Amino acid sequence: MKIKPKKLNKGDTIGVISPSGAVKEKKMFENAVKYFETRGYKVKTAPHVLDKKGFLAGEDSHRLSDLENFFRDDEIKAILCSRGGYGAFRILSDINYDLIRNNPKIFVGYSDITALLCNFFRKSGLITFHGPLFVSDFGKDRVDEYTEDSFWRIFGESSEVPLDFPNPFEYHCIKPGKTRGELMGGNLSIICGLLGTPYMPDLTGRILFLEDVGEPLYKIDRMLMQLKLGGVFEKISGLLFAEFSSVSNSDSREENDLAVLDIVSGLAGDLKIPVGYGFPAGHSDKKATFAVGVEYFFNSEEFQLQLTEDYLT
């Protein structure tokens, strides 16, 4: 059963947690707080939001308690994650998913937060949102206009469905076609890390969305082949790639003659489902906010991504 969170209104409280990596830029954190307060929202930060333990935002138990306590907190209407990094995997098996189900809230993030987005939906039915991070995106001196517009378009009081997403800036159709399905996925490395575990989302009949950052071409190729060999591409109804940004350079001239689009086209070109590349929703500055777990119509040839189901109550 799908659980849809309530709409966000001016004056509501937004909670901020750090379930993954540690916040490194305190000034950006303060910028983000001011950004939301200026827009008319209250901001409540978790007790351990600025904790650090190596590459983690503090102890696993503290990151878990912050997450669960903010879902318990009736004052909080939406939860944003400070940044990605790594750490969500470490708390997946300990989360009280009944608590999430019984206290639905808007929950937003991307990158490492993919693990939480997928499993809140898989294990509690909560519709989640792939979208900007509190510090990484809203903490900049100037928030990207596309990112900002998409975020408030989804959560603003005037939100209506069906809702078309703007055409991507550099979009490529790899396999033309049209399909309908629930949109699921996120960061490629995270999805591959979940494969074979009880926390891998069921992708049968769904439109799979993938993105990543800072990976060399051979690793992107290997991870996509892992999904292909694992039968994932045989289950899905459509495949939509965001940009693979900041691809690591190689000393190999043969590799540098390739582009991510070549890798993706080679691996997905023989699929019998709609496939497109370039939706701005990855690690680049411009990123769309979209609901995970609700149904969309996807036309890969002309790029049309349209919500066909309500995502808020």
Task: Please identify which of the residues 111, 136, 150, 237 carries the catalytic annotation.
Answer: 111
b/e map 193-231, b = 16+ CB within 10 Å:
bbeeeebbbebeebbbbbbbbebebebbbebbeebeeee
DSSP H or E segment with residue 181: strand 178-187
d(CA 216, CA 301): 28
Pairing of strands 290-292, 128-130: antiparallel
Task: Please identify which of the residues 136, 150, 189, 211 carries the catalytic annotation.
Answer: 211
d(CA 107, CA 76): 11
Q: Which residue has the tokens 């049968």?
A: 204
Catalytic residue status for 148: no
d(CA 269, CA 275): 8
Catalytic residue status for 172: no
Q: Please list the residues that pair with 299 across neighbouring strands.
A: 178, 304
d(CA 197, CA 199): 5
d(CA 309, CA 290): 12
Catalytic residue status for 111: yes
Task: Please identify which of the residues 48, 62, 130, 283 carries the catalytic annotation.
Answer: 283
Tell me which residues are annotated as active site. 111, 211, 283
